[in-house]
Chains A and B, each alone.
Chain A
Amino acid sequence: QKEVEQNSGPLSVPEGAIASLNCTYSDRGSQSFFWYRQYSGKSPELIMFIYSNGDKEDGRFTAQLNKASQYVSLLIRDSQPSDSATYLCAVYTGGFKTIFGAGTRLFVKA
């Protein structure tokens, strides 16, 4: 069974700190990796995707992928209270499905 694992949290960080969210996946053939943010009562919105080993930066967000370790992470620099949400890791393994993790709840304290 293909799986995507995330720590459910909550992860609590002070405003201005770096929040580090982690995700592991089981299928070595996974091709693309996504991070979504979901505010309470809203649908998920795409933050960024990554498909090559290494880092990818977009503003305050950096996605890191290590295919050898089957590990993908999201760093949020200068965390703001508005970043408080549930962050979903998703993995496209080919075929029709993208597998979603259960999400990590992040709280940024003002």
Chain B
Amino acid sequence: GAVVSQHPSWVICKSGTSVKIECRSLDFQATTMFWYRQFPKQSLMLMATSNEGSKATYEQGVEKDKFLINHASLTLSTLTVTSAHPEDSSFYICSARDGQGVETQYFGPGTRLLVL
């Protein structure tokens, strides 16, 4: 199956710093990528949808100036958490859709962010 990678898998940072998370589709071109956040024992929460070369579409309640998304190519999207605070600590997961046929979405392994 298609493979999506994320880097880093773990990040610990101080409050006020910015953190960048990379999401790559390794063996397919992803016209659409998605960013999710998941708190312990809760459901996936879609943060934003990004299409290559255009601005991301953010879900209601997600601050676009705080969570910067760049979908620079058909294989790379980045999420930057700006001025991170402890409440931003969460599990961030990206996914990529192959745009073929049934529009299957493949998930990356996730990035666990801890803001001290």
Contact = CB atoms under 8 A, between A and B. Distances in A.
Contacts, number: 46
A36 B51 CA distance: 23
Interface of B: 1, 32, 43-44, 46, 49, 51, 57, 91, 93, 97, 102-110
Nearest to B102: A32
Q: Is the interface of B mostly helix, strand, loop or mixed?
A: strand
Closest 4 CB pairs of A and B: A32-B102, A43-B110, A102-B43, A43-B107
B77 to A, nearest CB: 14
B107 A96 contact: no
A92 interface: yes
5 contacts: A34-B104, A34-B105, A43-B107, A43-B108, A44-B107
Q: Which of B32, B43, B106 has the most CB of A within 10 A?
A: B43
Interface residues of A, number: 21
A46 interface: yes
A96 B102 contact: no
B49 A96 contact: yes
Given A32-B103, A43-B93, 16 more contacts: A31-B102, A34-B105, A43-B108, A44-B93, A44-B107, A45-B107, A46-B104, A46-B105, A46-B107, A51-B102, A92-B102, A96-B32, A100-B43, A100-B46, A102-B43, A103-B43
